[in-house]
Structures are given as structure tokens and as C-alpha cells.
A and B are shown apart, each in its own frame.
Chain A
Amino acid sequence: MSALWRPPLPFLRLIAAGISRASQHRGLGTPAGDTIVIPKRIQRSPTDILQALAGTVGQDTTGPHYKYSDDPFLSPYSNLTKRSYALSKESGRKAARWIREKYPRLFSHRPDDPLIESFQPKQQYQEGEQVGVDTLVGVVARGEVANAVTVYHLCKNQGVALPDELLQDLLELLCFYNEEEQVDVEWVEERWYRQASTTTRKTWKDNSLAEEVFASLTTREPAAYCALIRGMAQYLQVDRAWQLYQECREKGIPLDTGTHNALIRVASFLRDASDLRWQLVQELLCTMAERDVQPDLGTLNATLEALAQVSGWRQARDLSLKVLMEFHQLGIKPSLATYYYLLLIHCRDRGPRSDILVGILDQLEGQSFTLQDPKDTSFFVTAMEVARNHLKSLKVAERVDSLLHLGDNHLFIGDSYKESVYYRHYFALSCSSLPIDEFMQVYDKLVPHIYTPEPGIMQEVLEAVQTSGALHYLPQLWSDMVTFDHSSRDKLVGLMLAALTHHHPSPDNPQLTERLVTIAKDIWTRVQEQDPNRRNRVTWTGQMLGWVVEVVVRCGEYQTATEVLQEATTTPQAVLGVLPAPSLTALLSAALHRKDTDTAVAVVLYAQDAGHQETGQMAQQVHSSLPLSNQHLAKLASALGRDVYLPHDTPAPAT
């Protein structure tokens, strides 16, 4: 054996990615011509396998979101509890972060290897600290606005010379964020639940640090002008932005695409009339063409945004389509924001009907999207709103929904407000379009974990159930209403009671009768046991009490009916209005049936107080069917007057 014997290539069964020597080699003793070819390893990133496995997991609507505890007691069901649970969980994380930053020397244990930057406390810069150019470079690179301002002031106080590139970076940072620290990316729940502020007020900080930095630049590069104009336009300091733009035009300073886009976006603030606004936008576009500045997707979206702000103008619709065509010829692919603006322009409330959404959906079917513009997240909400209000078509709504649930497109729903509005439209549209059984399938799928209906939508659902007569859904709806905190709303409780009265008990649905009676009793006890100091309380109306009485009497719960009557009689000032006559009649007949004289007399007296026409009839009924004691006769006499009800041959009671 030669001393230079090399072992044959090991048969690798390695799991680690470090050692990969798979290539063609001859094994010892392999006959010639019998080469084993090992295929090349398929390259994959560290998380590719995890992503592939995650792709096999679909959506499960029977359970709460992953961020909540999956427990029947601990899962949130109403909108308020969902929001408060998520935010309280995050406030715990914030508290932990605060402790970490306040007492960093207590947390010297560092198990992470390699070092994880985001686990380290954020560097704070104090007054007398020695800072240099590198500190400022690092802070600006990490995008920490407040720290950048502090360090800049420290540098100036200490007389540190700052190079122009650094000042340019700092200027861009300040212009982009308007010197305000943003909500940390880590606080996902806060970002999810915050309302997007849609103010049209100027928020730019005049004469503050950004402009100071701009002034302190030794050489004013075009980039500096671009940054400042963009920042001012973003935060609606339109006049100064326009001024700077004119200055640049005069001095011949070239501006880039983004700056022109920003100016197009705020063109509506510079002119009043619609055609003048469009004229200004056209001028800007022409200037871009002259200066050979290439338009991009931002230009398209800005132009359409400007048109959306003059959408009342008759020509806006045609112009938008022409703009789209022209940019298509330039090879610029539209993003979701483009379609959002198109919907705003074409599908207006008081405008003619437009089927552009169908065309858009044809275009977008089966695609997965990437985020290209901040307004991309508004597309799906607007599309669903158009499908509900403008087109009133469930088919279109379902197409939009299937597009949203394709792959990762669900991220384009934006934030919680948009999500709730989206599902509200979808839900209401399904309620009005689908037969009740199919709608309840949609209800079961979405409620309560994906979407919790608001009181207005719940009202529509109740009305739909009542109209279709599918009263077997009422128990589920009532328990949902209680869970979502709708049981303290007068209108909904009233609607529920009205729906209950449509039920006629028969021998073949005793279970349903029992459950519906349970609902009525539950409503009764719940309202009676309300906390007197609560602000949102249900106040009984006579109509509601009448419905309660009707339902319980019809389904055989006499005891509750007597309680209701007692309540109405003893505290009439708590009830708005009076019990209507049909319910009193029903109660009376039940009382007569059970030979309950006290209740019967009480009913008659109440009817008399209420001033119903049928009082006399009722009194006669009572007198004829039941034996009345002297006390009862006296009461009736005092209330109604002797002649009204007594037959003529009855002797007068001895007084």
C-alpha cells in the first residue's frame, strides 16, 4: 500500500451546512467507467425550510388570533376586549423595555452569541458626553431621530466639524421624519391599532433644525434641495416648498423624480379650481420631461392622487385613464395604490356607476403583491366598499376577498381599522344578498375571531333573521350579542324582542320554544339587574315590556309575566310609554285561564291607567269569568266607575 493512500471520499450524512464536499470522486476499488455522480446541493437560505413548512398551514377561523391565549375563558370576543388584550400585552413588553433601559447595569448577563443589537438597551446621550463624527454617523445610520438631534447639538457645542455628507444624511433624516421619533417597529400592536391621521393641516416645523442644517451646508448640492422640498411637501408646508422649487428652477438646479412626485402630490393645495390644479400638474410633468427626469411609479401614483382630489370634475375620469395608458406605454407597472386612486376617481358616491373594479380584478387575479407605495394598503378596503355601495355585487366582493386571501396578500389589509371596515362591508353585503342559511355560514366563519359585528351590523342581521323567519338562529345571535356587549343597547334589545314575538309555539318545536323563552327571561333579568350607575343602560319602553309579556305568555312562562306586570304597575315612571293592548289582552287571557284573580284585576287597572280602549271589554271578561272578592270589586269600581263594566242586575256592593 502506498503511503500516499488517501481515504475515499466519505459518504456524507452531514446535517451542518459547513462541510459540503459533494463532487465527483472515485471510490477505492471502483472500476473504471462506473463513476457516481452526486447532484449538486440545492441552495437554500436559513429559513427556506421553515417557510416551506409554514406554507402548508392554512387559516383556522375557529380559534382566536395567535397573539391571544387559546382558551375559551381567556380569548377576547368583543372589539373592546380584543384591542385591550393586545395592547395590554404590548404594554407589558414596553414596561420590560423601560426597565431594561432605566437600569442597564442590572442586566449584565448576556447569553446571546452572536450579539443581538436589538436586545441591548438603546444608547442615550447625555449633556456633557464626548461625541464625535462617528457617533453622529452611527446614530443617523440607525435612523434614531431624537438621538441624532441631541448628538448634533452636542457636536455643535463641542465644536466638532461635521462633513457635508454627514450633514446631508442628517438633513434627509430630519426631513423624512419631520424631527419626530416614530413609533418603534417593535410595537406591532400599537401600530396595528393606531388610527391613520388624515389631517390636511400643515405639520412641518418651520425654522427648526432641518432648515438650520440646510443653511449650515457649505455647498448646497441638488440633493439637499431635493430633501428639503420633499420634506416640506410631505408635511404640507406647501408655500415654502413651492418657493424653493421656483428658486431651483431659476438657478437651474436639477431635481430628481421623487421631488417632482412630492410636488405633484401637493399641487391641489396651490390652486383652487379643478382645471387649474390639473394645469399645474401638467406643467410639472412637462418640466420633468424637459429636464429629462425619468418618471416612475411614484409619479403615476402622485398624478392619480392629484386627480382623485379633483374627482368631482367631469374630465377627471377620462384623464385618469389616459394617464394610466401613457404610463403603461412607458413600461411602468401600476401598483395597488394606482388602482386605489382609480377607484376613488371612478366610483364616487354621487357619480355614475362604473364597472372599473371588475376590470381591475381581471387584471390582478392570481397575483401576489409587494409593497411599493404607502397607499397600497388602502386598496382592499376601498374595493370592498365599492363592491358593497357602488356595485352592490356579492360576486365582486368574493373575488376581492379571494384575492386578499391569496398567499401573503393579507398583509395589504393595513391596520385594524381598515380590517374592521373591510369585513363590515363584506358582512353587510352578504347579509343583504345571501339567503339566511348561507349567510349564517359566513357568520359562523367570520364571527367572532375574524370580525366582531358592530351594533349597526347586528341590527341588520337581526332584521334579516326576522324577515326570513329563521328564528332558530336567535339563541346563537343573542349569546353573541351578550358576548360582544350589545346587550346594553336599547335598539338591539328591542329588535330581539320584536323578533321573538314572531315565534308561534307548536308541538313540533318545543326545544326552540324553550330556548326563545330563555332569551326573553334572560333579557328581563339582565335589564333588571343592570348597575344603576352605568351610563349605557337599557331603559324599558312599554312596547318592549309588552313584547316580553307576549313572548313569555305565549310560550307558557306565566310567572315572569306577572313579575313584568308588577314592575310596570309599581314603578310606572321607569317605563317609557305603556304596555300595548294586545300584550295586555294576552296576559289577561292567560290569567283568566289560570284563575289568577289578582293579576287579572291588576291588568284591568293598568289598562285603565294606560287609557286603552279595550278596558271595558276586559273588565267585563274578568267579571264574567272569575268570582271577584269585595276588595277586587271595590278597586274596579273606584278605577272604572260602577256603570261602565257592571251588568245592570248586579247589586251594588255594600259600602
Chain B
Amino acid sequence: MFLQKVYVLDMRAQQLLRPLACRSLATSHPRAEIKAAAEEEFRTLEIGRKKRERFTAKTFKPATMLPPRYKQQKTDQDWGSVWPAARTFHPATVPFPVRQGYPASGQPTPDKWANAELMKIPNFLHLTPPVIKRQCEALKKFCTPWPAGLETTAKQEKHFPVTVSKSSYLHSSPTIRDPKARIVTLKVHLRSLDLDYHGRDKLLRLVGERYDADTDCLTLVADRCPLSQQNYDYCQYLLTVLYNESMKTEPWEHEKELVDLEKYVWEGSPSQAAAQNVVTARGINDAEELLKEYGQVVTDLHNEGEDEATVLRYQESVMKLLGLTDPQDTATASEPKYIQGEVC
């Protein structure tokens, strides 16, 4: 009895405490149901601890969200203001549909939303042509006109044959230092340097791999000093020294031997002696031209390597030297002429 009374009183007290409006607007009336049940059936005797109503976890409604940004963008908007700098791809801001990635089976190519492939790669949305044009216009005030008299590459090379380049580096970090900034590269064409044959040969031996024969360019790279100024001075010094040394002829250079020769020289070679022998054996008096031609051909064969043209010329020259005639020449006109070098 006492417990039941307490229970009913408890209910009433709680009812009074809850505000009026919320009581009325609560759609389910658990107390009313209990009350109705209590009226219809026997009243329940509650023994032990009252079961507390379990509070349902608060359902968090997602924050109200506006539609993605590209829906508000006009078609004639200024894109350079929307995407001013390099930025990871963001699907809500980019107004056009773009797909990338390998599609799962039966699925279309993944679209732009949450597409890691699109986000990983660099995009150039910040460098559309109108933006580039605008930026160039803005930078024009820092530019000076191109000097007169340096219009063509030839003129540039004539007046300024040496090119020096270095890079500076900018990091997104508190420090401004980068060790690669000390590297200085000096490039010069050897045709700009006033070298004779010996000087050129000596210079090429001195620089070795730093010379590129295809472009006739000597490249000196200096990174041995900590400052780029020092490396630049070193490059200048190096060029000076190379030039001066290659113009000088040291006494010991006369000790150059046959194996040291940079190219084949026919005069004084066994080939010359042999040819001379042939000429004298054949008893030709006026063989200067023949010998000269033969010498030229052999030199070419050694210096330029063996290919069809050089070998053919060698063949012709040898035959002339030996006084042989081409068996083809005696053939009748009716017989077809073989084309030299025809593969069987």
C-alpha cells in the first residue's frame, strides 16, 4: 500500500515538475498509458529498484548544409578569383563534371566526388589562359625591353658567348637555405673561343666529358664552394686557366707518340710506305695525285669509321693505285650492270 502510494505520488510530482508545454506536446504519454493500464488491471506491486528509463542516445541530425558551391557560380564568373593558386582538386568548387579512375565491374568511371585519383594528381586549374594573360600583363611593369642588337641567337652568341646559370629555391618552411643554390653552371661554345688546332685538341683533352660534340658546348659545373658567388668566381677562373693552358705548348707535349694521336695521320704511316712501294713497283712517275687520293681515303677510313661510302672510295682508290680495271667495264652493254653493294 505504502509503496503504491509513493509510486503514484512520485508520478504526480514529476508531472508537476515538467513544464506545461512539453507535457502537452509529447506525442507519447507513457504515464497516461500506465495510468490507463493501472485502472483496467490490478495495480502492479513494484519490488526492488525502479527500472530507470533508458535514455536513448541523442540522435545528431546532420548540420544543415547548403548545396555545393558550383551551383551558385555563374557561367561568366571570374575563374581566376575562384581558384587563384595551385590547390588540391575540390569537387564542390570545380563546376564541370569530370571522371577519372578505373571503373569497378559494371560501374561507370568514378565521378569527381571523393575521387582520390583526381586529388592526387596536380591540376592546372589555376593557370587557365586568361589568367596567364592577366598575370603577364601585371608583371610587364617589372620587365625591361630586350636590348637592341641581340635579336638572333647568332648575335647573342657573338656578343655574349658565355652563359652562367644558377637556381634559387623557395620552400614552404621557416628556413630560406637550400644547399643546391650554390651550384653554378657555365656554358660556352668552343667556336666562340679563339683556339687553334692544337689548343682545341688540348682543351678537349683537359675537359674530357664536359664537352658535348653534338652542340659544341663546353659545360663547367661548380659546386665545391659553399657560396654561389665563390662558385661563379671559380668557374671564371677555370675557364681562364683552361684557355690559357690550352694555348700554351709545354715542352713535354713533343713527346706525343703514335698511340697518343687524336686522329690518324697518313704521312709517315706504314700505309704510305706500302703505297709508295706499289707506286715505285708499278713504275708510275707522276703518282702524286694517286697517292694523295689514296692517303685521303685511308685517313677517312680510319677517322670516320667504316661505312659503305668510305669503303667504296677505298676500293676505287686501291684499284686505281694498283692499276686494276673494273671487270664490269669490259662487259658488253647488253649485260645488266650490277649495282655496287647489292646484297646477295
B143 contacts across to A, CB distance below 8 A: 42
Which chain A residue has the least Cβ–Cβ distance from B192?
A28
**Size band of the A side of the interface?**
35 or more
Give the shortest distance, in Å, between A410 (CB) and chain B (any CB): 14
Is A128's beta carbon under 8 Å from chain B? no
Give the shortest distance, in Å, between B152 (CB) and chain A (any CB): 13
**Could you tell me if A62 and B92 are in contact, using CB atoms closer than 8 angstroms?**
no
**Could you tell me if B159 and A15 are in contact, using CB atoms closer than 8 angstroms?**
no
B27 contacts across to A, CB distance below 8 A: 528
A-B contact count (CB 8 A): 170
Give the shortest distance, in Å, between A9 (CB) and chain B (any CB): 7
CA distance A15 to B65 in the complex (A): 48
Partner of B174, one of A60, A119, A532: A119
Is A185's beta carbon under 8 Å from chain B? no
**Could you tell me if B176 and A13 are in contact, using CB atoms closer than 8 angstroms?**
no
Is A29's beta carbon under 8 Å from chain B? yes
With contact pairs A56-B80, A532-B21, A533-B22 given, residues A70 and B147 touching in the complex (Cβ less than 8 Å):
no
Is A106's beta carbon under 8 Å from chain B? no
**Could you tell me if A52 and B138 are in contact, using CB atoms closer than 8 angstroms?**
yes
B177 contacts across to A, CB distance below 8 A: 113
Give the shortest distance, in Å, between B215 (CB) and chain A (any CB): 16
B164 contacts across to A, CB distance below 8 A: 10-14
**Could you tell me if A8 and B162 are in contact, using CB atoms closer than 8 angstroms?**
yes
Give the shortest distance, in Å, between A135 (CB) and chain B (any CB): 27
**Could you tell me if B142 and A14 are in contact, using CB atoms closer than 8 angstroms?**
no
**Could you tell me if A28 and B161 are in contact, using CB atoms closer than 8 angstroms?**
yes
With contact pairs A14-B166, A52-B139, A72-B66 given, residues A3 and B244 touching in the complex (Cβ less than 8 Å):
yes
With contact pairs A49-B142, A62-B77 given, residues A11 and B24 touching in the complex (Cβ less than 8 Å):
no
**Could you tell me if A15 and B168 are in contact, using CB atoms closer than 8 angstroms?**
yes
A56 contacts across to B, CB distance below 8 A: 80, 131, 134-135, 137-138
Which chain B residue has the least Cβ–Cβ distance from A53?
B135
With contact pairs A19-B232, A36-B150, A573-B20 given, residues A60 and B244 touching in the complex (Cβ less than 8 Å):
no
**Could you tell me if A10 and B240 are in contact, using CB atoms closer than 8 angstroms?**
no
CA distance A337 to B236 in the complex (A): 61
With contact pairs A5-B243, A63-B82 given, residues A11 and B162 touching in the complex (Cβ less than 8 Å):
yes
B93 contacts across to A, CB distance below 8 A: 63, 70
Is A582's beta carbon under 8 Å from chain B? no
Which chain B residue has the least Cβ–Cβ distance from A66?
B84
Interface hit among B67-75, B294-302, B336-344:
B67-75
**Could you tell me if A15 and B163 are in contact, using CB atoms closer than 8 angstroms?**
no
**Could you tell me if B72 and A73 are in contact, using CB atoms closer than 8 angstroms?**
no
Partner of A532, one of B26, B66, B77, B244: B26
Give the shortest distance, in Å, between A515 (CB) and chain B (any CB): 14
B160 contacts across to A, CB distance below 8 A: 8-11, 27, 36
Is B145's beta carbon under 8 Å from chain A? yes
**Could you tell me if A116 and B21 are in contact, using CB atoms closer than 8 angstroms?**
no
**Could you tell me if B78 and A34 are in contact, using CB atoms closer than 8 angstroms?**
no
Is A77's beta carbon under 8 Å from chain B? yes
Interface set, chain B 153-184, CB cutoff 8 A to A:
156, 158-168, 173-177, 181
**Could you tell me if A60 and B81 are in contact, using CB atoms closer than 8 angstroms?**
yes
CA distance A444 to B67 in the complex (A): 13
Give the shortest distance, in Å, between A32 (CB) and chain B (any CB): 13
Is B317's beta carbon under 8 Å from chain A? no
The 9 closest A-B pairs by CB, nearest first: A11-B160, A532-B22, A112-B174, A27-B159, A39-B144, A58-B81, A10-B162, A574-B24, A57-B84
